[in-house]
Amino acid sequence: MSKKLLTAAICLALPATAAASSTQPTILQDDARTVNSTPDVREAALNEMQTLGVDIVKITIEWNKLAPAGSAKPAGFDGTLPAAYDQAAWDRYSAAIDGAQARGMRPFISISGPAPQWASQRSNPPGVQRPNAAEFGRFAQAVGTKYPGVTMWSLWNEPNLPRFLLPQRVRKRPFSPHLYRTLLLAGEGGLRSSGHGSDTILFGELLPVGRASKGSRSSIRPIEFLREMACVDSKYKAYRGKAARSRGCSKFKKLPGTGLAYHPYTPAGGPGVNPPSEDDATIGQLSRITKALDRLKRRFKKSRMPLYLTEFGFQTDPPDRVQTPIKKAPGFMGESEYLAYKSSRVKTYSQYPLVDDFGSAGFQSGLKFASGAAKPGVLAEFQHPIFVRLLASNKVEVFGGSRNGEPRQVQVEAKVGRSDFKPLGGPITLSSSGYFRKSFRLSAAGARQFRFSFDGGTSRATKPSSRSSKHRR
């Protein structure tokens, strides 16, 4: 197409019509650097998070890192008192929390296992077999007392994964959801007792997929987990009689919490891959989760439960050869952020971690390689995400943003083939949360590349996605 025709095709800009999250703060977690590191590494990591425009720093406080060791609870031990726990371990957590606050970032504490040996049954890994809920509640109270200025919390990590809670099933029936319910009630009670009753207290931190097998170490699908935790069957009918008694549901109390914490990881193929079960949900099927929560609304104290994405990222190849090819990761990142943003129920977006772990056994979903070098395209996409959706042959929707507060205005541009990029409409002012979302009409929209420019650079250039919306149902 000629430059003249391209200019003539430039467009009518239309506002986005679907409901969307007006704010979507970004969470970043990297405990390896913010907690389990030297002061120099911690300070450098927090400085970089601040520069990247991170809003919330998530920190997992592990029970067994603070509690006394051994198979027997120490005589006279009062688990509600911060002074009863290891001071050096407190100091590491406090340095990360104080460092985040000093840089204007909100600390978010996830109080989690493993439990100390004396508060759980013997297991491999240790500390996850039937942890004592009453003792966990006392620990949560101690953490809340220690950190009165923290206002965002979650309780236990990935309880639908055997690595973090056992057994997942007993006699082939789900057990971990009912075990988790006791931990949630106790943990929330501990936070309330320490003055945090009006804070954001999240439940879940759920893994997005489970397994079809029904062994004691078979992870449970997240929507099945939510139903069982709420003491209802697959048809959302409350368990009665023997079924209720066997699950500890006979005296069911409405569940606490101000939102569901969720980890919407995808397979290596990205957001377009549909998991095999309707009880699974990755970033591409968030509506499955919100619909389940709506059907469970009478089982919670809060009726319209929001969704907090508290852990997310794409493991890349390199370094992990079975994960997402690194050239595809930026596109998956942009699409995922768009899917989260366009849902009015999603309250936060997240990235985990900042830097890859060393070795293939760890997480390789960082913005940087373990060496500290930026991943090509990945770090830049986190800073300036973009996703373009083809709405019709002559219409696209462009979503994008800037995390670090600059620039406040961007210019959407398009081109065909080897021609130069040309502006579409006028400059766009970003929202207070740093995003924009606009529709444009122009001929041959599917054949074009799009990007946005700003003072000092441009986003990644991308073609529109014509992916069916079916995978998001």
**All domains in the chain, ordered by first residue:** 3-17+387-472 (2.60.40.10), 55-311 (3.20.20)
Instruction: Place 405 in a pLDDT band, splitting at 50, 70 and 90.
Output: confident
Instruction: Specify the range with the lowest mean pLDDT, choosing from 158-167, 191-200, 288-297, 426-435.
Output: 426-435
Calpha distance 307→27 (Å, rounded): 13
Q: What are phi and psi of 307, to 5 degrees?
A: -120, 125
Per-residue pLDDT at 95 exceeds 80? yes
Per-residue pLDDT at 151 exceeds 60? yes
- Taking residues 75-82, what's their average pLDDT? 98
Q: Determine the pLDDT at residue 468.
A: 47
Q: Determine the pLDDT at residue 4.
A: 32
Per-residue pLDDT at 18 exceeds 50? no
Beta pairing class for 173-174 and 106-112? unpaired
Instruction: Place 22 in a pLDDT band, splitting at 50, 70 and 90.
Output: low
- Taking residues 362-366, what's their average pLDDT? 95
Instruction: Place 190 in a pLDDT band, splitting at 50, 70 and 90.
Output: very high
Calpha distance 329→270 (Å, rounded): 8
Reported as a single tens digit per residue, the pLDDT across 116-129 is 999 999 999 999 99
Calpha distance 209→223 (Å, rounded): 9
Please give the DSSP secondary-structure letter assigned to residue 126. T
Instruction: Specify the range with the lowest mean pLDDT, choosing from 13-17, 190-194, 255-259, 320-324.
Output: 13-17
- Grouping H, G, I as helix, E, B as strand and the rest as coil, residue 118 is helix
Per-residue pLDDT at 470 exceeds 90? no
Instruction: Specify the range with the lowest mean pLDDT, choosing from 42-46, 355-359, 461-465.
Output: 355-359
Mean pLDDT of the chain: 94
- Taking residues 385-396, what's their average pLDDT? 98
Q: Determine the pLDDT at residue 367.
A: 99
Reported as a single tens digit per residue, the pLDDT across 244-267 is 999 999 999 999 999 999 999 999
Q: Determine the pLDDT at residue 11.
A: 39
Give 206's strand partners: 262
- Taking residues 165-184, what's their average pLDDT? 97
Which residues are CB-neighbours of 452 under 8 A, at least 6 positions away? 384, 386, 398, 400, 410, 411, 412, 413, 428, 458, 459
Q: Determine the pLDDT at residue 6.
A: 33
Q: Determine the pLDDT at residue 359.
A: 83
Which residues are CB-neighbours of 327 under 8 A, at least 6 positions away? 376, 377
Write down the pTM of the prediction.
0.94
Instruction: Please name which of 159, 267, 273 lies closest in space to residue 221, comparing C-alpha atoms.
Output: 159
